Amino acid sequence: MTLLRILCLHGYRQNENMFREKTGSLRKVLKKHVAEFVYIDAPHILPVQDNIAEDDTNASASNRTNERGWWFSAADLTYDPLATTSCDRGFDESLEYVIKYINEQEVPFDGLLAFSQGAAFAVLLLARLSTMKYPFRFVILVASFRSGQEQHQSIYNNLQIDLPNLHVIGINDRVIPCFMSETLANECFKNAEILRHDGGHFVPTSSEAKLSYIQFLDRFL
């Protein structure tokens, strides 16, 4: 049995190290299924600010100076997932960067795991790749949502991502309201599978969540 290799995309105001720490419990839960979680940094470093990272109240000083994002929704290099704007500064660079990274892999990825802004970015990435064979066998999106940037809206028109997909949605998520994740899953994916949990803006690893992950991943081993 060949274990899985998964590319991991962090949320806004996070970086690869922070997301690795935040998914430590998940990696333990899936150690019999996943050989390697590959974490990468978004290419854009954020200005140092006083507000905290997504679901991160204990960010270290080193991490706080290396917070990153996949794109910005305003010219002042900030991002608001609930805002509708015409600014998507840095988005094209991130798209090119991730596609290049995927194409350079000697061992292909089996899956894609993405959180919050990283999950919203993952949907747009998959939309770009939908005209060719997907470089993944499955995708797991946690707290995903539809981008509010005006230039992205046409991408969602008739979008039906035909890739096995699991959407993890926190009923009490105060950063990304659960209806945003539900709408994206049901409108943009074929045969969407949804894992709902009672928590907020994080990757759950309860016994119920563990069972859902394992049942989803078993088919790819």
The SS3 call for residue 163 is coil
Residue 178 lies in a domain: yes
Is residue 157 domain-resident? yes
Q: Report if residue 13 sits inside a domain.
A: yes
Flag whether 97 is in a domain.
Answer: yes
Q: What predicted TM-score, i.e. pTM, was given to this entire model? A: 0.93
Domain tally for the chain? 1
**What are the DSSP E strand ranges found in the chain?**
4-9, 34-40, 44-45, 68-69, 111-115, 138-142, 165-170, 193-197
Cα–Cα nearest to 47, from 75, 82, 24, 19: 75
Please report whether residue 67 resides in a domain.
Answer: yes
Radius of gyration of the chain (CA): 16
In a domain, 155, yes or no: yes
Question: Is residue 168 within 8 Å of residue 204, measured between CB atoms?
Answer: yes
Positions marked catalytic: 116, 173, 201
- Residue 32 is predicted with a pLDDT of 95
pLDDT tens-place values along the chain, 221 residues long: 799 999 999 999 999 999 999 999 999 999 999 999 999 999 999 998 644 445 554 455 555 679 999 999 999 999 999 999 999 999 999 999 999 999 999 999 999 999 999 999 999 999 999 988 999 999 999 999 999 999 999 999 999 999 999 999 999 999 999 999 999 999 999 999 999 999 999 999 999 999 999 999 999 99
Asked if the structure places residue 49 within a domain, the reply is no
Domain presence at residue 50: no
**Which residue segment(s) compose the domain that 122 sits in?**
4-44+55-220
CATH number for the domain harbouring residue 107:
3.40.50.1820
